[in-house]
Amino acid sequence: MKNLLKHLVVLLVASTSAFAAVAPVLPASHVGSYEALLFTGDEATGTPAGFITLTTTSTGKATGKLTIDDSKVYPFLATFGYDAGSDLATTSPAVINISRGATLPAFGLSLAIKNLGQALESTLTLTGATNRVATTGAKLTPRAKTATDKLPGKYTLAFTPSGNVAVGPSGSGYAAGTVDAAGVLKLAGKLSDGTALTASLLPDANRGYRLYLNALRVPGSYFAGKISLVSNGSDGFHVVTATAPAADFWYAKPGNRPKDPSYRAGFGPLPLLLTMEPWVLPGKGQTLAQLLGVMTVGGNFQFGFDVSGAGLDLDQYLGTLPLKLTIDAKNALVPVFGDNSAPSSVAEWAKIWTGKVDPATGVFSGTFTLTDIFDPDGPSAEPIGVGFQQLPLKIVKRKVAFQGVLLNTAEAGVPLAAGNFILPPVDAKTQTTLAGDITIPDVLTPLGTGTPPPGLISSGTAGTYEVNPFHRIEEFDLSKLPSEALGIKVNGKMSGLPVNDTKVPFTISPDLTTLTINGRKVPLAGDSRPVSLLFTDATKTNYKNTLTVVVYLNTSTGQASGIFALYVQHLSATYNLGAIPGLPSYVPKSITAPFPALAIYDNQSAPVKVK
């Protein structure tokens, strides 16, 4: 009997010990996965400074990861205890030591789970540095399978600067988003400098998301912020955008990166405002233009296309960009009209413009073309028509890509679309890529409203003119240098030149692509209307007999108001080498080689249009 009692006592003690070993330390409400976005100093006024993920178990054991802007991830372990009276779970020890290697001081991390297990408070400390804190970290909670809300679906997001950008890209980043049945938000788009943006974010119980992304994959860079979806009042969800100068997101890039294609000196952190709206797909038999109200039974409409930033002086590129666009039945962004110098037909626009919208995502994209001229032997570059630089001139056509998203909402103050453009350099040796802003205002006007008078510039420019007299500037004619004194004998003279100080006709073709003067046809090389047109037949292979003509235009009528012509011809010449002292005997006394001759003409009175 004693042995039986002894065995029962042993079993009871063992059972109690086993039960104690598996008894939960944390209640179910405090068990799960958490995220917290760290901020410098204070979450209300600071900027993002790191990211914490944490997974807790009922035993109090936890694993986590710390990500900061040094582009590294630091794993850590923690042990939590729980105080039922305060419903607070904290770690033991109170500060977790996170090693950064043998040469760097360790981080100290304190964590607390509160508010019925839904909130994670964090403080990251480093001796001699500002604390990094998070007061609104949250428990990740998948959307319930039985939920009936309209959260799942497609969204479009725009990250717009909160105020003027002094240094850095001034346009909006964007993303097309999709929320699945579990509430997971997936993003795909581009940041304001063209950097790719992809992310998959998990929700909390309040449809909140947190993002900390090193999109550039370099230390000191981050794109970070929070997304909080709330009811939009019509059975859907959107983000209530912060009010400037506050911000929803921040984007930073470090400096001292001499090999980067853009913003080598860095920028930011740039404060950004988030606009996030549902993207509704066109219904069966419905076009995107009809969905947006651009095509209606009562008529069709147009909208603006605003371009700014990146140091782009649009006055130097008149005739390049549309002022008004519309969307056709095939989802193309179609120019309605531009300024007085812009193309007047679809075929002409197609040479310098493309644009489209993807109705499945709300993303728009396209290109426009800028034409520049500069001296490749010098660091400067300037648009055609600003000045006449030294030859050889190089014509550069830059194809500028633009992209963004449409924001299909009636919310006041929200544009129809927001995005950015990426501006390639004129001279890649001395300049870098820049980025600017694309905005499509939400104001729709009847199609054609505000169209400039038809053909004001194009038809005014084309035609036949007479310049009288057409004057040759003799002092620039190198073929008339005192050749004997220089030991040079020019064998011949320039030919095909207009007779000096006589009436000379010239004709600009109806499509402005050629100029004919003194019987010689020259192709268009640069269009800087309404200031000027540049015609030249000089190429890499044709340089021995070239003609370059600049026609200056009246900015009101478009007619030619001045003309400047430069003839370059290589003439044969004999160079007397015998006059050079100390020349070795095996060197010939003379050689025959090309001699560059120039003839420059300009008008002494304004050209007169005769037909």
Q: What b/e string do you get for 154-180 counting C-beta neighbours within 10 Å, with b at 16 or more?
A: ebbbbbbbbeebeebbbbbbbbbbbbe
Q: What pLDDT score was predicted for residue 372? A: 83
User: What does pLDDT average to over the chain?
Assistant: 86
Give the tens place of pLDDT for each residue, 162-204: 988 999 999 999 999 999 999 999 999 999 999 999 999 999 9
* pLDDT above 50 (res 11): no
Give the tens place of pLDDT for each residue, 53-109: 999 999 999 999 999 988 889 999 999 999 999 999 999 999 999 998 888 899 999
Cis ω for the linkage preceding 261 (within 30 of 0): no
* pLDDT above 50 (res 564): yes
* pLDDT above 70 (res 586): no
* pLDDT above 70 (res 387): no
Q: What pLDDT score was predicted for residue 491? A: 78
More confident residue, 83 or 129: 83
Alpha helices in 297-417 (DSSP H): 346-349
Q: Determine whether 480 is exposed, middle or buried from the number of CB atoms within 10 Å of its CB (0-12, 13-18, 19+).
A: middle
> Domain residue spans in the chain?
28-139, 153-278, 288-446, 458-609
Give the tens place of pLDDT for each residue, 236-280: 999 999 998 899 999 999 999 999 999 999 999 999 999 999 999
Assign domain 153-278 to its CATH architecture.
Beta Barrel (2.40)
Contact 531, 552 (CB under 8 A): yes
Token pair of 552 as six digits: 């200056």
Q: How confident is the model at residue 155 (pLDDT cuts 50, 70, 90)?
A: very high
Q: What pLDDT score was predicted for residue 520? A: 93
Contact 247, 271 (CB under 8 A): yes
- Return the CATH number of the domain spanning residue range 458-609: 2.40.160
Give the tens place of pLDDT for each residue, 507-517: 999 878 899 99
Nearest 10 degrees: Cα torsion 440, 441, 447, 451: -80
Collect all residues with Cβ–Cβ distance below 8 Å to 204 and sequence separation of at least 6. 35, 118, 138, 139, 140, 141
Give the tens place of pLDDT for each residue, 286-322: 999 999 999 988 889 999 999 999 999 888 887 889 9
Alpha helices in 339-493 (DSSP H): 346-349, 458-461, 483-486
Contact 175, 154 (CB under 8 A): no
Cα(456)–Cα(385) distance, rounded to whole angstroms?
Answer: 19
Q: What is the largest CA-CA distance in the chain?
A: 140
The identity of residue 172, as a single letter, is S
Cα(439)–Cα(414) distance, rounded to whole angstroms?
Answer: 10
* pLDDT above 50 (res 233): yes
Q: How many Cα atoms sit within 13 Å of 129 on the Cβ side? A: 15
Q: Are strands 322-327 and 306-309 parallel, antiparallel or unpaired?
A: unpaired
Mapping DSSP to helix (H, G, I), strand (E, B) and coil, where does residue 62 land? strand
Q: Tell me the C-alpha to C-alpha distance, in Å, between residue 169 and each of 146, 266, 328, 402, 471.
A: 44, 10, 31, 13, 49
pLDDT (mean) for 212-223: 93
* pLDDT above 80 (res 459): no
* CATH code 2.40.160 for 28-139: yes
Q: What pLDDT score was predicted for residue 289? A: 94
Would you give the DSSP letter of residue 140? B
Same fold, 153-278 and 458-609: no
Cα(343)–Cα(336) distance, rounded to whole angstroms?
Answer: 10
